[in-house]
C-alpha cells in the first residue's frame, strides 16, 4: 500500500488519528461508530456509523472540490479510514444557518424551521471545557483564536461559498440544508482549507417534502431511526451524485 499507518496520535469523540509513516504533512484518520451529543454528555453508537459517515464526507469533499473548494481529504485507505493533510486547526467552529433551529431558535424565541433572509455565519470557540461558547469577531481576536479581522472575513467568505455549494448539493436530492458546522485549518503551505468532516453529525438535514429530520437531531432528541436516516442520506447522495464525482 502507498500509505503506512504510523503511531497513534489522538482520539476524539468521533475519530481516531494516527501518523503516516514518512509523511509528516499527512494524517491517517479513522471514523469511529460512536455518536455523542451535548458535549459528550450523551453517548451512543451504531455499527457501521463510521463507514457511512466517511463515505458521506468523501462524497461531499469531492463535490466541493469540483466546485473549486479545497479540503484536507487526500485519499481513502479503507472503508472507515482516510488520509488527509495535516492542518493547524483554527480553533473556531464556523456555523452557517439558512433556517433557524435548535438552541438558536430557542435563544431568539423564534420557531424552529423559520427561514432566514440571508445565511448567517457565526463563530464558536472550540473548547470542550467551556462548551464551545459563541464568540463575536472582537472576542475571537482578543482570545487569539484567529490571526486578524482579515482572516475572520476570509473564513466567513469561504463558509458562505461552502453553504452555497451544499444548498445546491442537498436540494438536488430533496434535502433542505438547515444549518451546519465546519472547521478550517492552515496547511503546511500556509493555505486555509476545510478540515474535519461534513456529515449528518455536523449538519441539520430535513426532507424537503416532509421536514423529516435526517441528521444527528434524531439521536439528540431520541427520535429513533438514527441509522436509517444516515443510510438514507448516503443513499440519496450516491444515487444523485456518484456518477458525476
| Interface with ligand UDP (CB under 6 A), residue from 34, 48, 65, 104 | 104
| Interface with ligand UDP (CB under 6 A), residue from 53, 71, 85, 202 | 202
| Of residues 20 and 96, the one with the C-beta less far from ligand UDP | 96
Beta bridge partners of 194: 71, 184
| Of residues 33 and 132, the one with the C-beta less far from ligand UDP | 132
Taking CB positions, which residue lies at the least distance from ligand UDP? 102
Kindly identify the residues of this chain, within the stretch 214-233, that bind ligand UDP according to CB under 6 A.
Answer: 216
> Does residue 163 touch ligand UDP according to CB under 6 A?
no
Q: What CA–CA distance (Å, rounded) separates 230 from 202?
A: 12
Residue 83: which H helix or E strand, with range?
A: strand 81-85
> Does residue 95 touch ligand UDP according to CB under 6 A?
yes
Residue 48 φ/ψ region, left for φ over 0, alpha for ψ in the -120 to 50 degree band, beta for the rest? left
> Does residue 240 touch ligand UDP according to CB under 6 A?
no
As a residue count, the chain comes to 245
- The interface region with ligand UDP, picked from 49-57, 58-66, 143-151, 199-207 by CB under 6 A, is 199-207
Kindly identify the residues of this chain, within the stretch 117-156, that bind ligand UDP according to CB under 6 A.
Answer: 132
Q: What angle do CA 180, 168, 136 make, to 5 degrees?
A: 30
| Interface with ligand UDP (CB under 6 A), residue from 6, 12, 44, 102 | 102
> Does residue 81 touch ligand UDP according to CB under 6 A?
no
| Interface with ligand UDP (CB under 6 A), residue from 203, 214, 233, 234 | 203
> Does residue 45 touch ligand UDP according to CB under 6 A?
no
Q: Measured from the CB of residue 179, what is the shortest distance to ligand UDP in angstroms?
A: 4
DSSP string, 148-209: -HHHHHHHHHHHHHHHHHHHHHHHTTTEEEEEEEE-EEE-TTS-EEE-S--STTTEEEEETT
Q: Cα–Cα distances in Å, from 23 out to 2, 7, 61, 86?
A: 11, 12, 22, 10
Q: Is 87 helix (H, G, I), strand (E, B) or coil?
A: coil
Q: Measured from the CB of residue 112, what is the shortest distance to ligand UDP in angstroms?
A: 9
Q: Residues in the site for ligand UDP, rule: CB under 6 A?
A: 93, 95, 101-104, 132, 179-181, 202-204, 216
Amino acid at each position: 500500500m502507498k500509505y503506512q499507518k504510523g503511531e497513534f496520535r489522538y482520539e476524539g469523540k468521533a475519530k481516531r488519528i494516527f501518523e503516516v509513516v514518512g509523511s509528516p504533512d499527512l494524517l491517517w484518520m479513522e471514523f469511529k461508530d460512536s455518536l455523542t451529543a451535548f458535549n459528550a454528555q450523551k453517548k451512543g453508537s451504531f455499527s457501521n456509523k463510521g463507514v457511512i459517515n466517511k463515505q458521506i464526507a468523501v462524497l461531499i469533499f469531492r463535490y466541493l472540490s469540483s466546485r473549486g473548494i479545497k479540503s484536507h481529504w487526500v485519499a481513502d485507505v479503507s472503508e472507515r479510514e482516510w488520509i488527509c493533510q495535516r492542518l493547524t486547526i483554527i480553533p473556531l467552529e464556523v456555523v452557517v444557518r439558512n433556517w433557524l433551529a435548535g438552541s438558536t431558535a430557542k435563544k431568539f424565541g423564534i420557531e424552529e424551521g423559520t427561514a432566514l433572509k440571508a445565511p448567517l455565519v457565526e463563530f464558536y470557540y472550540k473548547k470542550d471545557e467551556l462548551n464551545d461558547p459563541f464568540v463575536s469577531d472582537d472576542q475571537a481576536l482578543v482570545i487569539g483564536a484567529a490571526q486578524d479581522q482579515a482572516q475572520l472575513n476570509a473564513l466567513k467568505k469561504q463558509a458562505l461559498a461552502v453553504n452555497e455549494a451544499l444548498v445546491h448539493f442537498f436540494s438536488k436530492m430533496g434535502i433542505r440544508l438547515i444549518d451546519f458546522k465546519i472547521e478550517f485549518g492552515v496547511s503546511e503551505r500556509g493555505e486555509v482549507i476545510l478540515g474535519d468532516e461534513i456529515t449528518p453529525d455536523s449538519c441539520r438535514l430535513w426532507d424537503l417534502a416532509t421536514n423529516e429530520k435526517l441528521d444527528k437531531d434524531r439521536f439528540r432528541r431520541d427520535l429513533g431511526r438514527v441509522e436509517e436516516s444516515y443510510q438514507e442520506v448516503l443513499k440519496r447522495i450516491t444515487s444523485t451524485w456518484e456518477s458525476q464525482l
